[in-house]
């Protein structure tokens, strides 16, 4: 059979393509207008345009050798003196104290408790001092553009007394939102497990950055032992308001001049400076706090991200354009789903069975459209 492409066939097939483009054009991908949540205390819905999800159980941020190994995170290395750390000891933040203990590639380290390590990002405070500095750990997002958002982390804290485990947002020393666990405050016998929610503000600066002395501190007793299991700790940074949660339950809120007004970055740290008013310690054995995931849904302060949002979000009221963020679900990642992160910054965050660049929704749709177009083309060809 001789295949011939007539003018009519070309016209017909380009019409089919136009219809298909229209169909696909009206749905550029799910969640293209952002991710939503409703704050329980005031029942207000907030939508955030961008996301950064990291599944530390499956993803090695310290570099597995392939592609962009950082996944948007940077383990920190710097030394600070006791004056700067505001305690009897200085601190040595070292990359070697940050370990990705993934399921696929388990790590061991030369400390006690090695066998009982959980999968996740291990943040260590070591017990052997280095030149009057405590060996401690910290990771930061490489992006500095987190300007409002809901920030969630799965954390299992150390139970070794004398450290501070922190999940926080930071711009500078007077624009900071912290969730801090002081292991010296845990009392297993009495069942007391406080968590400290702190806004480091001008007020905190005036109190010598001693969070214990400011009204920016809210201390809440958790109804569980945070050192025996992973729980989700979360803060929502909104205009003029910060909400703090554990396992989806609202525990504290802060308003007023302490609420930051700029963009910042997210950090996780585990430290000790021996200060008897806060971290206590240093610990007498190596202490490990483990992070299973971080999920950040946020608005970016970057003009490029605003442009990207404007070009992909045509109709926020269209079905599927805005996706609700599931409440307190440790295994849910939009970036593991099909096409739920259209043209978002690629961090390869979900660790989908080791498939690390799985979420380019936009190009997937273009590819699907071409498959349809080819299929229709073949049907048209065959009819001649
Ligand atoms: C985040 O950005 C979206 C889109 O511009 C906007 O509708 C929303 O109000 C912003 N959220 C906050 C808390 O500013
Ligand atoms: C911190 O100090 C130690 C020595 O105490 C040194 O080995 C290390 O390289 C320093 N770290 C940085 C990041 O400068
Ligand atoms: C922190 O940033 C804010 C906003 O940019 C600024 O007003 C404030 O002076 C800064 N504080 C410090 C300690 O640098
Ligand atoms: C913080 O409060 C404690 C006890 O109330 C006091 O001893 C200490 O000097 C205060 N610290 C600062 C920096 O004001
Ligand atoms: C949590 O998310 C996972 C993965 O998407 C899903 O299979 C599971 O049903 C969710 N759990 C709940 C309680 O919604
Ligand atoms: C996707 O994002 C990139 C980088 O931010 C931008 O240059 C590009 O125009 C965007 N593409 C679409 C289809 O929105």
- DSSP code of residue 103: S
- Report which of residues 360 and 267 the model is more confident about: 267
Among the ranges given (56-65, 309-318, 360-369), the one the predictor scored with the smallest mean pLDDT: 360-369
As a whole number, mean pLDDT of residues 14-20 equals 41
pLDDT for position 202: 76
pLDDT tens-digit profile of 165-218?
999 999 998 999 999 999 999 999 999 999 999 998 777 677 666 666 566 789
Q: Residue 381: which region, alpha, beta or left (left: phi > 0; alpha: psi -120 to 50)?
A: alpha
Q: Which of 216-220, 280-284, 292-296, 313-317 has the lowest mean pLDDT?
A: 216-220
CA-closest candidate to residue 293, choices 170, 107, 199, 167: 167
- Which residue has the CA at smallest separation from atom 6 of ligand 1? 47
Residue nearest ligand 2's atom 7 by CA? 130
Indicate which residue's Cα is closest to atom 8 of ligand 3: 174
Q: Which of 2-16, 105-119, 245-259, 359-373 has the lowest mean pLDDT?
A: 359-373
Which two three-digit tokens encode residue 315? 């109709």
20 vs 280: CA distance, rounded Å: 64
pLDDT (0 to 100) of residue 359: 35
- Mutation to probe ligand 2, out of 92, 96, 126, 131 (largest number of atoms < 8 A from CB): 92
* 100 Cβ contact partners less than 8 Å away, ≥ 6 residues apart: 56, 59, 60, 61, 62, 107, 121, 122
Ligand 6 center from residue 308 Cα (angstroms): 5
Q: What is the pLDDT of residues 333-346, one digit of tens each?
A: 999 998 899 989 87
Collapsing DSSP to helix, strand or coil, 352 comes out as strand
Q: How far apart are CA 327 and CA 227, in angstroms?
A: 22
The ligand placed nearest to the CA atom of residue 366 is 6
- The DSSP 8-state label assigned to residue 355 in this structure reads B
Distance 280 CA to ligand 4 centre (A): 15
For 326-349, give one letter per residue: b (16+ CB within 10 A) or e.
eebeeeebbbbbebbbbbbbbbbb
What pLDDT is stored for residue 375 in this prediction? 38
Regarding the beta carbon of 312 and ligand 6, being less than 6 Å apart is answered: yes
Q: Is the separation of the CB atoms in 99 and 124 below 8 Å?
A: yes
Ligand 4 pocket test: pick from 208, 210, 212, 276 the residue with the most ligand atoms within 8 Å of its Cβ: 210
Protein residue with least CA distance to atom 5, ligand 5 = 332
Question: How far does residue 328's CA lie from ligand 5's centre (Å)?
Answer: 10
* Token pair belonging to 249: 């339950």
Cβ atoms of 74 and 142 within 8 Å: the answer is: yes
Q: Where are the domains of the chain?
A: 2-37+306-383, 43-300
Q: What is the dihedral of CA 165, 170, 176, 179, to 10 degrees?
A: -20
Name 252's bridge partners: 244
Give the pLDDT confidence score for residue 351 in this predicted structure. 57
Cis upstream peptide for 282 (omega within 30°): yes
Residue 291 φ then ψ, to 5° = -115, 125
> What residues does ligand 3 touch, defined as CB less than 6 Å away?
171-175, 262
Contact 237, 148 (CB under 8 A): yes
| Predicted pLDDT of residue 207 | 66
Distance of CA 2 to the CA centre of its chain: 58
Taking all residues of the chain, what is their mean pLDDT, rounded to a whole number? Answer: 83
pLDDT category of residue 115 using cuts at 50, 70 and 90: low
Question: If you take atom 1 of ligand 2, which residue's CA is the nearest one?
Answer: 79
Is there an atom of ligand 6 within 6 Å of 308 CB?
A: yes
Q: Find out whether the beta carbon of 332 lies less than 6 Å from any atom of ligand 5.
A: yes
Q: pLDDT tens across 147-159, in order?
A: 999 999 999 999 9
Tokens of 4: 């011939």
* Residue 136 predicted with pLDDT over 90: yes
Is residue 64 within 6 Å of ligand 4 at its C-beta? Answer: no
The answer to whether the Cα torsion of 273, 274, 279, 283 is positive or negative is: positive
Q: Is 46 helix (H, G, I), strand (E, B) or coil?
A: strand
Helix (H) or strand (E) holding 104: none
* Most confident of the ranges 297-301, 351-355, 357-361, 374-378: 297-301
Q: What number does the ligand 2 atom closest to the CA of 131 have?
A: 5
Distance 254 CA to ligand 3 centre (A): 19
pLDDT of residue 240: 94
Binding site membership of 234 for ligand 6 (Cβ less than 6 Å):
no
Q: Percent of the chain scored above 70 by pLDDT?
A: 77
Q: What is the structure's pLDDT at 63? A: 73
What whole-number distance in Å separates Cα of residue 237 and Cα of residue 257? Answer: 13
- 69 alpha carbon – ligand 6 mean position (Å): 22
What pTM did the predictor assign?
Answer: 0.84
- Which is the closest atom of ligand 4 to the Cα of 208? 13
Q: Tell how far the Cα of 44 is from the centroid of ligand 3, in angstroms.
A: 29
CA distance 90 to 273: 6
Residue 104 is predicted with a pLDDT of: 86
DSSP state of 63: -
CATH fold, domain 43-300, is Jelly Rolls (2.60.120)
Q: Which of 2-11, 103-112, 198-207, 347-356 has the lowest mean pLDDT?
A: 2-11
CA 83 to ligand 4 center in whole angstroms = 17
Q: Where are the beta strands (DSSP E) in the chain?
A: 35-39, 44-48, 50-55, 73-75, 78-80, 90-93, 98-101, 120-125, 133-141, 146-156, 164-172, 175-182, 194-200, 217-221, 231-238, 241-246, 249-255, 265-271, 287-300, 323-324
| pLDDT exceeds 60 at position 367 | no
Instruction: Name the residue at shortest CA distance from atom 6 of ligand 4.
Output: 213
CA distance 110 to 93: 18
How far does the centroid of ligand 2 lie from the alpha carbon of residue 79, in Å? 6
Taking a C-beta distance cutoff of 8 angstroms, is the pair 204, 216 a contact? yes
Residue 206, pLDDT score: 72
40 pLDDT tier (thresholds 50, 70, 90): confident
């Amino acid at each position: 059979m001789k295949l011939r492409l007539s003018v009519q066939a070309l016209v017909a097939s380009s019409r089919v393509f136009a219809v298909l483009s229209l169909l696909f054009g009206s749905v550029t991908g799910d969640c293209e207008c952002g991710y939503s949540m409703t704050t329980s205390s005031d029942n207000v819905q907030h939508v955030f345009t961008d996301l950064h999800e990291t599944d530390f159980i499956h993803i090695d941020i310290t570099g597995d050798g392939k592609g962009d190994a950082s996944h948007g995170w940077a383990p920190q290395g710097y030394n600070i003196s006791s004056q700067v750390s505001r305690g009897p000891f200085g601190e040595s933040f070292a990359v070697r104290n940050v370990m990705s203990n993934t399921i696929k590639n388990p790590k061991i380290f030369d400390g006690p408790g090695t066998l009982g390590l959980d999968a996740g990002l291990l943040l260590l405070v070591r017990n052997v001092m280095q030149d009057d500095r405590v060996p401690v750990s910290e990771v930061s997002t490489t992006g500095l553009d987190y300007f409002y958002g809901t920030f969630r982390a799965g954390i299992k804290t150390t139970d070794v007394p004398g450290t501070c485990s922190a999940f926080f947002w930071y711009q500078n020393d007077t624009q900071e939102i912290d969730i801090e666990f002081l292991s010296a405050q845990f009392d297993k016998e009495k069942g007391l497990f406080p968590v400290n929610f702190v806004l480091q503000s001008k007020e905190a600066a005036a109190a010598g950055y001693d969070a214990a002395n400011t009204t920016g501190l809210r201390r809440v007793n958790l109804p569980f032992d945070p050192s025996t299991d992973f729980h989700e700790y979360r803060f929502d940074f909104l205009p003029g308001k910060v909400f703090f949660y554990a396992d989806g339950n609202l525990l504290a809120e802060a308003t007023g001049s302490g609420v930051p007004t700029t963009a910042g970055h997210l950090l996780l740290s585990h430290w000790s400076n021996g200060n008897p008013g806060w971290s206590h310690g240093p610990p007498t054995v190596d202490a490990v706090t483990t992070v299973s995931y971080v999920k950040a849904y946020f608005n970016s302060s970057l003009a490029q991200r605003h442009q990207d949002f404007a070009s992909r979000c045509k109709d926020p009221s269209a079905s599927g354009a805005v996706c609700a963020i599931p409440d307190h679900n440790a295994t849910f990642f939009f970036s593991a789903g099909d096409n739920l992160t259209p043209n978002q910054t690629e961090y390869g965050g979900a660790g989908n069975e080791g498939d690390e660049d799985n979420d380019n929704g936009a190009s997937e749709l273009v590819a699907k459209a071409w498959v349809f177009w080819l299929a229709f083309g073949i049907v048209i060809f065959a009819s001649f």
